[in-house]
Amino acid sequence: MAEQRIQKVLADQGICSRREAERLIAAGKVKVNGHPVGLGDKMDPDYDKVSIDGKNVRIVRKRQYTYIMLHKPRGYLTTRSDDRGRKTVMDLVADVPAMLRPVGRLDKDSEGLLLMTDDGAFINLLTHPSGGVGKLYRVTVNPRATEEQVVQMASGVVLDDGVRTQPCVIHVVTDEPGRTVLEITLHEGRNRQIRRMCSAVGLQVVRLKRSAEGPVKLGMLQPGEYRELKRSEVSALRNAAQKSSRTAPARKQEAPRRPGPLTHKKG
C-alpha cells in the first residue's frame, strides 16, 4: 500500500478523528516504528508500526466496516465516553463488536437518526464542511412562529457567536395556538444550530427530532433501537456527500419553500 499521512491512517482505522490524531501528533504522543513523528510525516499501513502514548495500535488491513443507524433517544450524549458517568449513545450499541464512533452529533435533548461506524474515511466524508449532506429535522417551537420568523431563519440568521447561518429550507407542518411544528433541512452542522437559530428569532425549541440524513430515513425504528445500514444506503450516502462536495462552491441561496403563508387565528 502507498504511504499515507499518519493522521489519515489513524482516522481511517476508526482509532480517532483526524483532528484528534493531529493533536496527538503535535503533542509528540505518536510514534512510527519507535520514532516520534510530525504532522507532515507519512507511513505505510501494511508495514509500519504505530504507537500512541507508548501503546501499540493495531492496524487492520482490508477490514470490513460496520455501519449502523441508531434512533437516539433524548437524554443520551453523542460521545464515546463521559467522565461524569452520564448515559452515552455507546450504551445503546454495547453489543456491536466494532469500535463505533458517531457520525456528527445530536445534542443530549434531541432525538432521532444518528449514524455510527468504525469507518474513519466515511465519517470524514460526511462531516467535512464541504460535504453538506442535507439533514431533515422535525422541530416543535413555542410560542407560535410568525411568517417573519420562519423567513428569517430560512434566509440565514446571525447566531450568538456572530456567525451567520447558511440559507435552509423550512416547511410549516402544523400551526396551532401556542406552538408551531416545522420541518427544517440543514446542509451545515454547527453546534446546537437549530436551537440557536430559533433563539435568535425569539422561539424556543421544545422538541427536536432528526428524521433523515441525505437519502437515509429513520423510518419505523424505535427510540434506543438500531439496525445495520444496507450496502445501497452506504453507497447512497457516499454519493450524496461526494456530489455535495463537488457543488458546494456553487451553492446559491435557496428561498424557503412553504406550503403556503402562515395563518393566524384571532383570540
| Residues 212 and 114: beta-carbon distance below 8 Å | no
Grid cell for residue 135 = 439533514
Catalytic residue among 107, 109, 119, 175: 107
**Residue (of 154, 160, 152, 168) closest to 201 by Cα position:** 152
**3-state secondary structure (DSSP) of residue 174:** strand
Rounded to whole angstroms, the Cα distance separating 234 from 102 reads: 15
Rounded to whole angstroms, the Cα distance separating 82 from 88 reads: 7
Please state the separation of Cα 102 from the chain's center in Å. Answer: 7
Grid cell for residue 85 = 458517568
Helix axes 193-200, 147-155, angle to 10 degrees: 130
**Residue (of 208, 212, 218, 210) closest to 140 by Cα position:** 208
Rounded to whole angstroms, the Cα distance separating 171 from 1 reads: 48
Q: Answer yes or no: 107 catalytic.
A: yes
Residue 92, CA atoms < 13 Å, CB-side half-sphere: 27
Grid cell for residue 17 = 478523528
Active-site residue set: 107
